[in-house]
């Protein structure tokens, strides 16, 4: 099957730099809504059998234009949520953002037993995201759109995808409405088809002034990270 893995559009938390991972989460900004509309247009030629979202409102808002255009109802699926910030939730200070990023970076280096303070380990995160992807695959779709979150997508894709020479480092930014396309299944593995790190609807839909603490996974804690 084919998975279209999209990060949600820009949120007010991305602009303010807060680590917003809890339910229900902040809404999309006006730019985020424009990104969602542009994404629907950019995906118009893709065959999409189903649309899946996390429980966070931003993924529902991002998926809505694409689902509406196809007469589909987005399916909310536990497990697709962002890497939970735990003790860092809704903080934007340097120590919190650096602690979040450094924990995810440790998972990417293989330390899956490291725990996000007050939250999940890397192994626990991968288990719940794996379970969600298996549910999608078991539904028998040829192609599904999954709208999820920045750190979650890069962590899961980088861990589960067969290495590809054109794949960027997992620390490279995954901007709002960026799109990673994979082919495969949970049993045989996943191969990269494409990796669009910028908004799928066009680079003019980026906001370089936003703090966005879940767009980069910069181990030095000076970039973005959700």
Q: Which residues are catalytic?
A: 8, 82
Q: Which two tokens stand for residue 48?
A: 């999409």
Cα distance from N-terminal residue to C-terminal residue, the chain = 26
Q: Which two tokens stand for residue 144?
A: 């599904």
Q: How far apart are CA 41 and CA 36, in angstroms?
A: 9
Q: Which of 104, 90, 4 is nearest to 45 (CA)?
A: 4
Q: How many CB atoms sit inside 10 A of residue 93's CB? A: 12
Q: How far apart are CA 90 and CA 61, in angstroms?
A: 20
């Amino acid at each position: 099957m084919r998975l279209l893995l999209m990060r949600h559009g820009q949120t007010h938390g991305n602009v303010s730099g807060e680590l917003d991972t809890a339910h229900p989460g902040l809404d999309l900004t006006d730019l985020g809504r424009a990104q969602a509309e542009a994404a629907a247009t950019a995906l118009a030629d893709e065959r999409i059998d189903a649309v899946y979202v996390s429980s966070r409102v931003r993924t529902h808002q991002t998926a809505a234009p694409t689902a509406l255009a196809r007469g589909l109802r987005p399916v909310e699926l536990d497990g697709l949520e962002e890497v939970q910030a735990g003790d860092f939730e809704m903080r934007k200070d340097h120590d919190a953002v650096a602690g979040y990023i450094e924990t995810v970076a440790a998972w990417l280096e293989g330390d899956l037993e490291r725990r996000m303070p007050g939250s999940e380990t890397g192994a626990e995160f991968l288990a719940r995201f794996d379970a969600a992807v298996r549910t999608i695959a078991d539904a028998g779709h040829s192609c599904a759109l999954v709208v999820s979150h920045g750190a979650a997508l890069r962590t899961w894709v980088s861990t589960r995808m067969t290495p590809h020479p054109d794949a960027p480092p997992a620390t490279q930014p995954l901007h709002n409405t960026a799109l990673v396309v994979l082919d495969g299944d949970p049993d045989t593995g996943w191969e990269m088809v494409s990796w669009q790190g910028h908004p799928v609807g066009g680079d003019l839909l980026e906001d370089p002034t936003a703090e966005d603490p879940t767009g980069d996974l910069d181990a030095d804690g000076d970039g973005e990270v959700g």
